[in-house]
Amino acid sequence: MTTFGDRSVSRRDVLRYGAVGVAAIAAGGVPGVSSAARKTLRRSSVTRGGTLNFARSIAPTTLDPANTIIAGDIYTLDKIFEPLYITSPAGKLTPWLATGYTVSKDLKTYTFNLRQGVKFSDGKPLTPADVVFSIDRARTDKKGPLSFLDFAITSLEAKGSSQVVAHLSAPWAPFISDISAFCNSIMPANFGGATESAFFQNPIGTGPFTTTGFKPNAASITLMKNPSYWQAGKPYLDAVDFKFVDDDNQRLLQIKGSQVDAIDLVPPSQVSALKSDSSLKVSLWPSWQVDLLVMNEKLPQFADRYVRRAINQAIDRNALVSAASFGTAKPGGSFFPPSLQYYWAGTPTLAYSVSAAKATLAKSKYPNGFSTELLIDGGVQKWQTFAQIIQQQLKAIGINVKLRPLDHASFESAFQKFDYDMFIDYAINDISDPDEMASFELDYHNGGSNSYWSSYNSPPVTSLVHAAQSEFNPAKRAKLYAKIQAAVAQDAPFVPLDYPPYIYATSTKLNGFAVNPGGAYRLENVWLA
């Protein structure tokens, strides 16, 4: 057996298997925090108690980790439920409910060592049976949109009082990263004796917070401190009150008026003004995010490769960024963001050129253009600006675009039912391995979204995605992902518009807030001065 986690490994093993299994925690330390950071924490004067008032753009529709991909759901339930590993704010895989693992020589059997002393919010201890139930439910029973992440698992078994064994069908390079996804969060086996619906109204998890009486799409939700949380002395807060405000301007008014302590999705146009307010702090966090223009290939015009390529050539990403991002984002190219592992800067993207776009469209079945519709979330200022510019740029090649703004819930519902021609949305890689983004956006049959609801279906690209999943050699994986990015750039199922950061505005009294590149922000270390 090759050992990872808390025990020593050779340099050869690190190079072969990557750093994901090698992260060790100093004895008695805080998971995911360096020794220098722990010294800083000890020196800091932390104020305990109080309620964090947070205005967020999207309300949760469910607290079921296995049955969602909606940001409002994810960034609520991840305060209640936790997985075996997490992604730190630095983007590193970090042991969490597990302290480490061992893997067999054939790379098909992983044995996880569970952290001792972990309890659920009802005071009952975490057991291997809870882990087996939760991940089995996510991968087979529920068949949620991210169940493909657990594709390689053939079976899970509880071993003794503190271990879980995962058997894989084949070596799977992204496996530990997949285990860290929110969909693989742990809950009590058999819902602790409750029915499924009753459980998710009053969920029980190992996270720093809990809640009761959950109602989908409510105007607010309050999370209370979990008195049984396994990190002694945490969380520092007594409660978190999430208020859901889908209009950018309203959130800005609330943070400026000190009605809330934090807001998300700060419009780039407001960053400079907010930075001049001494009572506020504006933070731009690096992201694994790409803003995309998605085309519906169920429609004949977008099933035409020449049309998609022409649209890619007709859109000036530099103009979009200049007009709407105010220096906060970079123009899009590859569908992988530059911050993501295996991003290829040499991806042969289709350059902006109106004349080239007209020539390409002339080769299509629609040489004279056509009329279409662009669906957007009407509450997001940046995307409204993007849509207006795209409308003008496509008009130059004979494509007439009508804008269709909807409230957020209606917007999400529409594109997920394929009730759209084109839409603008963001794609985020939630985990440290790029397989999630590649699979979700390109594996039509197994990726959970029919290729990000575009219906793009390229068997050669799908074969490359599958090959990368079983390749452990970093250099060989890099070549596979370079081929994938090149093929997608030429097929043009999406227009990668820009690579934005996550922008938050917070009160200066808020401390310890951090966002990882997947967009998640843990709150057990947050406190109010």
| pLDDT, tens only, 440-463 | 999 999 998 999 999 999 999 999
Query: Tens of pLDDT along 304-316?
Result: 999 999 999 999 9
Q: From CA 253, how far away is CA 267, in angstroms rounded?
A: 12
- pLDDT the model gives residue 478: 98
Q: Phi-psi region for residue 208, left (φ > 0), alpha (ψ -120 to 50) or beta?
A: alpha
Share of the chain above pLDDT 90, in %: 87
Q: Give the mean pLDDT of 481-486.
A: 98
Q: Which helix (H) or strand (E) holds 159?
A: strand 153-159
- H-type alpha helices, 27-126: 35-43, 71-77
Query: Tens of pLDDT along 413-440?
Result: 999 999 999 999 999 999 999 999 999 9
Question: What is the CB neighbour count within 10 angstroms for residue 284?
Answer: 17
Q: Give the mean pLDDT of 500-517.
A: 97
Single-letter amino acid, residue 73: D
Q: Give the mean pLDDT of 301-305.
A: 98
Query: Tens of pLDDT along 100-128?
Result: 999 999 999 999 999 999 999 999 999 99
Is residue 133 helix, strand or coil? helix
Q: From CA 99, how far away is CA 23, in angstroms rounded?
A: 9
Domains of the chain: 2-45+82-192 (3.90.76.10), 48-80+207-285+503-529 (3.40.190.10), 289-499 (3.10.105.10)
289 touches 281 (CB < 8 A): no
Mean pLDDT of all residues belonging to the chain: 92
- pLDDT the model gives residue 2: 40
- pLDDT the model gives residue 45: 86
Q: Which two tokens stand for residue 489?
A: 């750039």
Query: Tens of pLDDT along 368-427?
Result: 999 999 999 998 899 999 999 999 999 999 999 999 999 988 999 999 999 999 999 999
Q: Give the mean pLDDT of 3-10.
A: 39
Is residue 194 helix, strand or coil? coil
Q: Is 20's pLDDT higher than 50?
A: no
Catalogue the E-assigned strands of 184-329. 209-210, 220-225, 239-244, 262-263, 280-285, 289-295
Band of residue 510 on the pLDDT scale cut at 50, 70, 90: very high
Query: Tens of pLDDT along 54-112?
Result: 999 999 999 999 999 888 999 999 999 999 999 999 999 999 999 999 999 999 999 99
Query: Tens of pLDDT along 132-141?
Result: 999 999 998 7
Give burial (CB, 10 Å; 0-12/13-18/19+) of 467.
middle
Q: Give the mean pLDDT of 234-259.
A: 96
- pLDDT the model gives residue 448: 87
- pLDDT the model gives residue 144: 83
Residue showing tokens 């990668």: 496
Q: Give the mean pLDDT of 196-216.
A: 97
More confident residue, 41 or 209: 209
Q: Is 29's pLDDT higher than 70?
A: no
